[in-house]
Structure 1
């Protein structure tokens, strides 16, 4: 920080509502110079955005996919190659964005870095998902004349996914060049959550060049392979058994294979590994520590988004300096709240309700 930037910072700390014109008058410089200094302070991460939110306020950065989810649900037995009566639901989605929303609902200040089009769906994502300012898109890229990513799924009469189409090409444009513009801001976050929808070059840049505590959601067996050469840069990786097997290059027959699988990945430099296995619960591995938690059965209303809620709960717990076991409990509680909701991202998500869920299910 330059001496002049320090003077600007001192003034706006004393009065965050002070205008650029007032700052210019106090320092006897041009208003355009004040604007330039503030812009530099934002790039360096000392000022985080509108209203002069300062760096000492802890924040989380989530970098990944954001899209609109469109879901078609038939009223009765689905007839192929025909028009079916039913319902169409729309909601903001995307792995990274879902994690960001859940973290924001847990009272974290979250900044989402993603690609959106300057269109109706892009505005819906930002308007419905800001959560009173807890989730900010001001670091995201809104592309004029472009279409926001969309995920379309068709369910059958049992509400199981029959087929889906994803139109996510815009995510590929979250390039190294764009991320470089936010490097200092990313470095100064409490921690950073990534999903592997990001381009491989962008993931490599962040993990190799931008020091941080990275929590990564594997997303899929194919996409998680993007980080196979950078596991020593990853703080925590959350995957399912298939993603973990693909990354380790091993076959998995049952949960008995998980310790061997985990040791393979931990020996390659990974710090924490968490494997989720649906009704069988979740396993966490760190050095010689192995934890397995399995909750009571429950009526699942919507499985979409449960994994993202789990990742958010895990990240929140570790971010609050909880132990690995406590964080795993918290992640399980968050996931169960999501499974009980018809919505992908439940409005019921809160630390109080997660704690209540944990007490009821695990008796701890």
Structure 2
């Protein structure tokens, strides 16, 4: 029986995508070769890469608007460094909303002056800072749009003329959003795009050549763009799986369609957290994530009973991150609403047993 997968990442993928990817591993499109043994210079893979880049921009509403989609390796963690290498000339600003923005700040400081424009560290990152002043002399302002560990998510962007840059690893392709507000953003694949091993970078072409330093070729966005994501051998299987997933999103109403479903799933969980006297949410209600619902039991003595209930219900990946504790229900695009209902049933069953 398939488990109800609430893992924060690598995350659940649509069953249709998994089946199609598995089929391609045996043989891609009746060409007599496995997907994982074809040349990355072959016409077959060039078509895969081109469609993946095209669909990325189309779904994000950026087609024909001066952006380039690039598929790279190294995860979002490498992008913490690449962002600064390519965009930080004098001074950059970062909003610190958790573990991943903290790591991004650390990497950027190796290459120039970095200031924390705002932070929610004072409350263990349970909210998104608002109403702060953004210095106008920044090369860029960096955000982390969704914070998987703490369960917070940007709903409204800072009002500034400074170029916006973002780590969107855990909520890209999950909702309609004004992506054109950003000069550049990036996302590791293993949440809403595909398996780990590939990272999507979307960047305005006008953001190339922003710094005076010499940038190593592998870390240079313009070099990678000019090479059409194939400066070195790309991760063929992850890119193909991302393409299948982008097709799946397109066939399920695009970002409007998945966004509506994700909102309904999140509402089910948060309504139960707020209604059930045994639970309490971690993130402030205005900043709650539609991707990662974080919550705790009010009485730790009930932990063993609740853990037994959701394990018996065939739920997987519900434990919270060690820095927060409690529970984290990750409700990415592919998670069916039926899985959310099973979790809610477990929460209500605990209430009946209390």
Q: TM-score, normalised by structure 2?
A: 0.28
Higher RCO, 1 or 2 (CA under 8 Å, sep at least 6)?
2
TM-score with structure 1 setting the length:
0.28
Larger Rg belongs to: 1
